[in-house]
Chain A
Amino acid sequence: MSVSDDPSRVAGGPALTDLPDDVSVATEEGRRLAEQLADNRRHARKLLEVRNLSTHFYTRDGVVHAVDDVSFELDYGETLGIVGESGCGKSVTALSLTRLIASPPGKIVSGQIIFDGIDVLKLSNEEMRLLRGKKIGFIFQDPMTSLNPTLTIGYQIAESAKTHLGLSRKAADDRAVELLSKVGIPRSRERMGDYPHQFSGGMRQRVMIAIALACDPMLLLADEPTTALDVTIQAQILELIRSLSDEFGTAVILITHDLGIAAGMCHRINVMYAGRIVETGLVDDIYEAPRMPYAWGLLDSLPRLDEVKGARLRTIEGMPPDLIDPTSECRFAVRCKYVHDRCRSEEPELTPRDGEGHMARCFGTEPEGWIQ
């Protein structure tokens, strides 16, 4: 697994001609074989490949490079964490994947997004619409404002199923009831007619999850799904996302500023800083052996079991830089304890480190670097 730049791997993935496509589905066995083949076909490529994605906002103060040359991949059914402080481009990355960037002022200026073999940035608006909600579900940060206050939650869940699955009103309602009980809302049929204000924050986020999963999507984008919730509720919501994504085989991109949450949920993690991926790798590698001072900072600000009770958490000093006209230095240099002259004159590349797919963007931890 690597963030490769091989230009031959574009939409459609590897050649599939070696797979027979005339399997009869008339028999039980044939059907199973066909499913198996479809499955193989899928696994021959990634669910999502993002290459050199850059999204800018054209504001009065200048061009905000919110996402700057970001590349990553996601397997079918995999859970990927995107972690970083607020303002480093996590939400804009997720919104770019579904082309939900407000335009103006935003624009995806370059890059490629291949979702399940589809070149997303080449789709018409109508084709894009058919992908949203159906193949890609979205959960947003604030459950208090993300649901429409004037529509019943039953309507808001059934709406997607009606739009994308062509279900009748009745069938869509039945599906909504089923989803509501799946996300742990008791007396789900009675609650269909209730409005969002009749639910608590945690319950509303459950409703959001039901909406996001209404069409059994292949990818779930969860943008800080628990940030606005009480700590006790957070764990329940995360557990719900985990169990449902396991059950449905849904891939998840979990966006959070809390490395601890990501570590508990994800297979792999992208650490973002100032619009860039600064470290990527398997959870264990990032958690046990991070190779970028910013990631250490994120780790240090986590509460640890072995720490003295009540001790103040350390936070990274300073603020993320503003993303207007980034300079050609390491973007973390102003806050980095290990900064050298070289970090100020050029920006490091994302280069491999020990561990599968483990890469970091730091001169200091490169093999000939000064941090060991």
Chain B
Amino acid sequence: MLGYIIRRVLWIIPVLFVVSLITFSLMHAAPGGPWDREKKLSASTIAHLNEKYGLSDPIHIQYLSWVGNMVRGDLGPSYKYIDRSVNDIVADGIGTTAHLGIMAFLLSVILGIPLGVIAALRHNKIPDYLATFVSVIGIATPSFVAAILLLVFFSVTLRWFPTHGWDGWAEPDTMVLPTIALSLFPIAQIARFTRASMLEVTRKDYVRTAQSKGLRERSIVVVHMIRNALIPVVTILGPLLAFLITGSFIIETIFSVPGIGRYYVTSIGQRDYGVIMAMTMLYAAAIAVLNLVVDVLYAYIDPRIRYS
């Protein structure tokens, strides 16, 4: 098992390498550059800036230098916020973003799984229809619509929660709406997945065996069904957590959460190369690591799976 984990961790390196290569090439192939402004800078200024930041070097030299710096933990300068490094930008926002993401993840799991289980146990009865209705809405509603509706209703009309800002545990009020808004989609997704998986398990022979043993309904559901039903659900949790902890542009923008999510969009518009690379690598690394965690968890839940 340990050998397996080490091998998988080592595999992450070439994966990230390929991802960075592709992103780097695409990013430089895209028209425009970091110095494009409403009011054009003079050619000599641009040449000077390119010189200063090494942007006039051949592309492979630029890439190698980026790799070299990154390996040493230096993500380079931001071309938009001249006084700040990419390290600063990421360090400032990642804590908030991850905090919001983890809260949303926990809420999604805590609500999504029971919702799916209940829907499956009451298959084709009112709770099932209700849960299905809720998940369809959750999946079909774009997050900016949901976020704005929550904001209008709970902050503007009822005045229960602040309209913007994020103070973490210092001011828990500020966490409520962003967390809910961010988790609506994952709750619906987990509930749907859990429901389908539970319905599948209901038809399994070993569930009939459990019934034939005269076990209590509760142990049949908890011991024999849920555990097996969660095996496929766990696979979607890895990518989901990766998605949530690396930030959401829409939710962070609407609720003015000072995370890194907004850089996904702004850095691309501004051709802020260092930030684009940092955001991409962050997301790719999160996916790679969390998929590994999921696979390890898998072996723990399903004894048939043994890695060597």
Contact = CB atoms under 8 A, between A and B. Distances in A.
A149 B304 contact: yes
A361 interface: no
B228 A149 contact: yes
Nearest to B227: A150
B214 A148 contact: no
Contacts of B231: 150
Interface in A138-152: 138, 140, 142, 145-151
A282 B205 CA distance: 33
A148 B206 contact: yes
Contact of B205 (A130, A131, A146, A211): A146
Nearest to A129: B214
B96 to A, nearest CB: 38
A211 B303 CA distance: 20
Interface stretch (A4-12, A64-72, A158-166, A328-336): A158-166
Interface string A182-205: 000000000000010100000000
Given A150-B301, A151-B223, A131 B214 contact: yes
A159 B224 CA distance: 11
Interface string B248-279: 00000000000000000000000000000000
A134 interface: yes
B303 A149 contact: yes
A133 interface: yes
B301 A138 contact: no
B60 interface: no
Interface string A238-270: 000000000000000000000000000000000
A98 interface: yes
Interface residues of B, number: 23
B213 A163 contact: yes
A271 B104 CA distance: 61
Contacts of B215: 129, 133, 159-160, 163
A137 B209 CA distance: 10
B37 interface: no
A132 B228 contact: no
Contact of B209 (A130, A163, A211): A211
A163 B216 contact: yes
Contacts of B74: none
B214 A133 contact: yes
Interface in A101-153: 129-134, 137-138, 140, 142, 145-151
Contact of A129 (B216, B223, B302): B216
A302 interface: no
A106 to B, nearest CB: 13
A150 B228 contact: yes
Interface in B182-238: 204-206, 208-217, 219, 223-224, 227-228, 231
A100 interface: yes
A265 to B, nearest CB: 21
A272 to B, nearest CB: 21
B213 A150 contact: no
Contacts, number: 76
B206 A145 contact: yes
A133 B212 contact: yes
Contact of B214 (A142, A149, A160, A208): A160
B204 to A, nearest CB: 7
A195 B302 CA distance: 10
B84 to A, nearest CB: 50
Interface in A197-242: 197, 208, 211, 214
B214 A164 contact: yes
Contacts of B301: 150
A174 B294 CA distance: 36
Contacts of B223: 151, 159
Interface in B31-69: none
Contact of A150 (B208, B219, B302): B302
Contacts of A148: 206, 209-210, 224, 228
B303 A195 contact: yes
Contact of A140 (B208, B216, B224, B228): B208
A11 B308 CA distance: 60
Interface string B54-93: 0000000000000000000000000000000000000000
B213 A160 contact: yes
B214 A100 contact: no
B206 A132 contact: no
Given A145-B205, A146-B205, A149-B228, A195 B212 contact: no
Interface string A41-54: 00000000000000
B209 A150 contact: no
B305 to A, nearest CB: 10
A177 B178 CA distance: 54
Given A195-B304, A197-B303, A149 B206 contact: yes
Contacts of B205: 140, 142, 145-146
Contacts of B208: 100, 140, 146
A130 B219 CA distance: 14
A140 B205 CA distance: 9
A134 B217 CA distance: 15
B204 A145 contact: yes
Contacts of B216: 129, 163
A148 to B, nearest CB: 4
Contact of B206 (A100, A147, A163): A147
Given A100-B208, A140-B208, A142-B205, A149 B213 contact: no
Interface string B273-304: 00000000000000000000000000001111
A370 B295 CA distance: 70
Nearest to B209: A146
Top 10 A-B pairs, shortest CB-CB distance: A133-B214, A132-B214, A138-B212, A133-B213, A145-B205, A148-B206, A195-B303, A146-B205, A160-B213, A129-B214
Given A129-B217, A149-B303, A163-B216, 5 more contacts: A98-B212, A145-B204, A146-B209, A149-B228, A195-B304
10 contacts: A100-B208, A138-B209, A138-B213, A140-B209, A145-B205, A145-B206, A146-B208, A149-B303, A160-B213, A163-B214
Interface of B: 204-206, 208-217, 219, 223-224, 227-228, 231, 301-304
